[in-house]
Amino acid sequence: MSKEKRQIDAQTKVEDEAVSNFREYLRIPSVQPDVNYDSCVTFLKDQAKRLGLSFRVYHVTPRKPIVILTWEGMQPMLPSVLLNSHMDVVPVFPEKWTHPPFSAYKDENGRIYARGSQDMKCVGIQYLEAVHRLRNAGIRLHRTVHISFVPDEEIGGKEGMKKFVHTSEFMELNVGFALDEGMANPTEEFLLFYGERCIWHMHIHCPGSPGHGSLLLPDTAGEKIRVIIDRFMDFRQSELAKLANDPTLDLGDVTTVNLTCLKGGVQSNVVPPELVVVFDIRLAPTVDHDEFEHMVQQWCTEAGPGITVEFEQKCSKVEVTQLDHTNPWWLAFKAACDELKIKLKPQIFPAATDSRYIREVGLPALGFSPMNYTPVLLHDHDEFLSEDVFLKGIEIYEKIIPAIANIPK
């Protein structure tokens, strides 16, 4: 059979309704910046009607809807389960894609190409389809399950989950435990995230003596910024060495430092009155924040007088979710995975998700996207998810959701 014929067959054969719903969701271009979420809300309202779930939309911020679909449990007074996903996706460069990024094109191998196929529209639909199958099978759960679709996670969630967890509407959901996004993994294992590093975006302002570029002026901004950059880069190398020397460590177990911006100067023959260097820092959960900040202040003192530190973002330390006998949600989750004979690899998430806001208000949360044997393509060109992996994920949630929603009081 020719490649062209296989492609035609892949596009025209009858596919699982869950896959069709997934592809329909992917075709909604909810791309940052300035997302119009109206089409997502309409789509999810139709899904709620199809599944027989209650449907609510909250607006903590105008034009930033938070959509909640609810399956009420037999004991609704018990703390509920929250299944969270975000509606927005990151920008695309269409010329770099093999297929249009919002076409949800499916090739002859069942790979579905679209922005959001991994991050994370897949998970939102997998939640819905797993609930659909459970309800069709006549299954009732003890605890209420809320399926949330939130805005703006890809730009920090400041107008989404960050604010929502502090509202009376969120309190009324009576959440006891949450699932959120994870990440694909090329191997057999499924990644499970029980914590995240803290984001610090630091602007180091280095003032100095201005003047003509032909002079050797004392106390220049350039001299100071050199010391600052050296100290941060030396620290970066020490964290790289930790990773290289200890195979049990993953990226989330160390602190990353990256120089992302250099600012200052007016022209090539003028010594500037100030130079600014910007660092993206992700603090590992084991780092003492006060000690780290004191270390940075010491570096600034060593570099010279007048240096100041400005924080663009400074996340507070958030405790990780415990993976031990003290956490019944984890025990139920793990038992369901053991029954399915799937291998979990617990990690600290190297970047940031909305889970941090859930954990920040004292609730346990796990990040899990059931995508093994899948290359990591979130935010990349030609992001795709295989149809088989997507459908297998629904089966996995069919086991996990009842397990965590039937934990006894």
Instruction: List the catalytic residues.
Output: 88, 153
**For residues 155 and 33, what is the distance between their CA atoms, to the nearest angstrom?**
8
361, 163 in Cβ contact below 8 A?
no
Strand 365-367, strand 256-264: pairing: unpaired
**For residues 84 and 160, what is the distance between their CA atoms, to the nearest angstrom?**
12
Residue 154 phi/psi, 5-degree rounding, is -70, -10
Nearest in space to 394 (alpha carbons), one of 376, 357, 369, 374: 369
**Exposed/middle/buried for residue 251 (C-beta within 10 Å: 0-12, 13-18, 19+):** middle
Which contacts (CB < 8 Å, 24+ apart) does range 327-331 have? 327/364, 328/407, 329/176, 329/177, 329/364, 329/366, 329/404, 329/407, 330/194, 330/364, 330/366
Tokens of 175: 């959440």
Q: Examine residue 202 and say whether the peptide bond preceding it is cis (omega within 30 degrees of 0).
A: no
203, 276 in Cβ contact below 8 A?
yes
Question: Which amino acid is located at 133 in the chain?
Answer: R
**For residues 324 and 333, what is the distance between their CA atoms, to the nearest angstrom?**
12
**For residues 121 and 100, what is the distance between their CA atoms, to the nearest angstrom?**
17
**For residues 224 and 207, what is the distance between their CA atoms, to the nearest angstrom?**
8
Residue 150 phi/psi, 5-degree rounding, is -115, 160
Helix (H) or strand (E) holding 293: helix 289-303
